[in-house]
């Protein structure tokens, strides 16, 4: 049970291809509510659809507004993405924190919020920022901080998805589980015998034990499946040619 | 002190504009090492530069390889971004986890890693995935999971930046600190007197105390600065017209 996903509010966007790319990114990450404030080339824009690559439903449902305040109607918490702070007193938060606050508001009160994104070339103006409760600052390379509009939306939309995600952080896929211990042990014993027969171990005291510890370590840690252990036994058998047998040209 | 940022390895990329957009996103988030495996239209590609929007240095330094294994030379830990798992046994991790592992390897051993991204239309093939230690799966809308190539890179590059960032998660900017308590108190007292004089408070017992608690609450929580408190006192003074004065047309 989550609150509504945040609205994406594009303020005076310039390029239809960017609006389309924004719609695609929104749909990729589960956002649906696209709001446009005075798009430069009007609306609808024929360049947006192809760039949306199948996310046309989001473009079709987009609403157009005359100003930022109108576009925020119905929302309860609004962040403005910005690179520079104008002389307004505002909290500046990371995307992670902004999304966590939007998510918490949805969970606790069922209320939705939104995020403002400025025009491609200039970003948001002070008057736009003043409407928002706080500023969301995407961390970037200080020497090269200007993000593409759609890529700024990707970061925020990905954060939304990341913070709701239920997929495990780390999962082994197509894995039938570790082999029965006795099968792994049989591989290790077989290897030990064949290596001993081929004089792999030097004669010093404890050398065999040390070498076998290394081999046991590297063969045990991967949690090989029964099938993989069987494959390794086959490989060992095929590779193994007894010392002194035909083809043994080892010189030592 | 961090390890080297992960290499971005584009496997058989199709469109120059996407390679350029990848370079821009890399530079935005502090990555530098771009590797290309058999780019479809050869290399260099005239479409890449304009799309890189100033990140041409990354394109200039990009290296081209014949196969995935060669492109991974010099790296110690490689993740493959993929939507579907082929029948390989691999860990599948979130971008967050993948980047945390790359970062940990850099911090503890000084070793660098990389992330593979497949061609636009088809994604990575099984043989490509087989080279990687693990799969990095970007969480997306199950009904609309196909990410633009550059946007997939944005997610991973942003994770890298996010996990190193030193900026505070939440900071109040252009804020001179809360006003001295006595200035806030003077505002509250002034307001109380003016409201009382204008019969704002109903006559029931405790009504004045309840109303003042509400006002004190909403005026205290924002931690207004001394200048803001001064502004509010001015606003109260300008608004306030004593009951019965000229222009008072309140009917109650």
Task: Enumerate residues 131 to 160 of chain A having a beta carbon within 8 A of any beta carbon in chain B.
Answer: 135, 137-141, 144-148, 150-151, 154-155, 158
CB contact under 8 A, A25 and B161: no
Of A96, A97, A100, the closest CA to residue A108 belongs to A100
Torsions phi, psi for B134 (to 5 deg): -155, 165
The mean pLDDT of chain B is 90
Residue A73: burial class (beta carbons within 10 Å; 0-12, 13-18, 19+)? exposed
> End-to-end distance of chain A based on CA atoms, in angstroms?
70
Closest CA to B140 of A156, A7, A165: A165
Nearest to B55 by CA among B92, B22, B96, B89: B22
Residue A1 β-bridge partners: none
C-alpha–C-alpha distance, residues B64 and B40, integer Å: 11
Tell me the sheet residues that pair with B37: B11, B65
Cβ-proximal residues to A250 (8 Å cutoff; 6+ apart), any chain: A243
10 Å CB burial of residue A129 (0-12, 13-18, 19+) is buried
Q: What is the mean pLDDT of residues B80-84?
A: 80
CB contact (8 A) between residue B29 and residue A141: yes
Residue numbers in B near A144 (CB within 8 A):
27-28, 54-55
Predicted confidence band at A200 (pLDDT cuts at 50, 70, 90)?
Answer: confident
pLDDT for res B228:
93
Measured between CB atoms, which of A145, A154, A225 is closest to B154? A154
- Average pLDDT (B29-34) is 97
B27 at interface of A, judged by CB pairs closer than 8 A:
yes
Summarize pLDDT for A44-66 with one digit per residue, the tens.
999 999 999 999 999 999 999 99
The band of A152, judged by pLDDT with boundaries at 50, 70 and 90, is: very high
**Tell me, what's the pLDDT at A109?**
87
- Rounded to whole angstroms, the Cα distance separating A11 from A122 reads 11
Whether B161 sits inside 8 A of A141 (CB atoms) is: yes
Task: Return the residue matching tokens 């509400």.
Answer: B214
User: How far apart (Å, rounded) are the C-alpha atoms in residues A93 and A217?
Assistant: 46
Q: Which of A2, A158, A221 to mutate to test binding with chain B, by most B CBs within 10 Å of its CB?
A: A158
Q: Measured between alpha carbons, how far is A220 from A191 in angstroms, rounded to an integer?
A: 14
pLDDT at A249: 47
DSSP B55-70: -HHHHHT-EEESSHHH
In Å, how far are A55, B160, B208 from A65, measured between CA atoms?
21, 36, 42
Query: Cβ contacts (< 8 Å) between A140 and chain B: which residues?
Result: 28-30, 161
Mean pLDDT for all residues in chain A: 90
Eight-class DSSP state of B135 = E
Q: In this predicted structure, which of A130-134, B131-135, B199-203 has the lowest mean pLDDT?
A: B199-203
- Nearest to residue B175, comparing CAs of A131, A125, A88? A88
Look at the pTM and tell me if it is higher than 0.95: no
In this complex, do A92 and B30 lie within 8 Å of one another by their Cβ atoms?
Answer: no
Dump pLDDT digits (tens) for A63-109.
Answer: 999 999 999 999 999 999 986 666 788 899 999 999 999 999 999 88
With a cut of 70, say whether residue A212 has pLDDT above it: yes
Give the list of residues 6+ apart from residue B114 with CB closer than 8 angstroms, or none. Answer: B6, B7, B8, B9, B33, B35, B71, B72, B75, B77, B78, B79
Look at B170 and A144 and tell me if their CB atoms are within 8 Å: no
Task: For chain A, say whether B225 makes contact (Cβ under 8 Å).
Answer: yes
State whether A151 and B25 contact (CB < 8 Å).
yes
């Amino acid at each position: 049970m989550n609150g509504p996903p945040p609205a994406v509010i594009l303020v005076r966007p310039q390029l239809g291809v960017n609006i389309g790319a924004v719609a695609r990114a929104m749909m990729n990450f589960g956002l649906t509510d696209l709001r446009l404030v005075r798009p430069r080339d009007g609306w609808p824009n024929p360049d947006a659809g192809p760039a949306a690559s199948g996310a046309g439903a989001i473009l079709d449902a987009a609403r157009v507004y005359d100003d930022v305040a109108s576009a925020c109607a119905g929302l309860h918490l609004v962040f403005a993405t910005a690179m520079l702070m104008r002389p307004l007193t505002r909290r500046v938060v990371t995307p992670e924190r902004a999304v966590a606050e939007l998510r918490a508001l949805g969970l606790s009160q069922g209320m939705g919020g939104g995020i403002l994104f400025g025009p491609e070339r200039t970003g948001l103006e002070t008057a736009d920022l003043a409407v928002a409760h706080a500023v969301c600052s995407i961390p970037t390379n200080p020497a090269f901080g200007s993000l593409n509009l759609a890529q700024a939306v990707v970061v925020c939309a990905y954060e939304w998805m990341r913070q709701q995600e239920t997929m495990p952080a780390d999962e082994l896929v197509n894995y039938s589980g570790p082999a029965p211990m006795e099968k792994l042990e049989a591989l290790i014993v077989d290897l030990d015998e064949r290596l001993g027969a081929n004089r792999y171990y030097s004669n010093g005291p404890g050398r065999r034990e040390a070498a076998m510890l290394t081999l046991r370590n590297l063969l045990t840690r991967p949690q090989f499946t029964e099938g993989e252990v069987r494959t390794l036994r086959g490989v060992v058998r095929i590779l193994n040619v007894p010392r002194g047998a035909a083809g043994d040209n080892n010189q030592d």
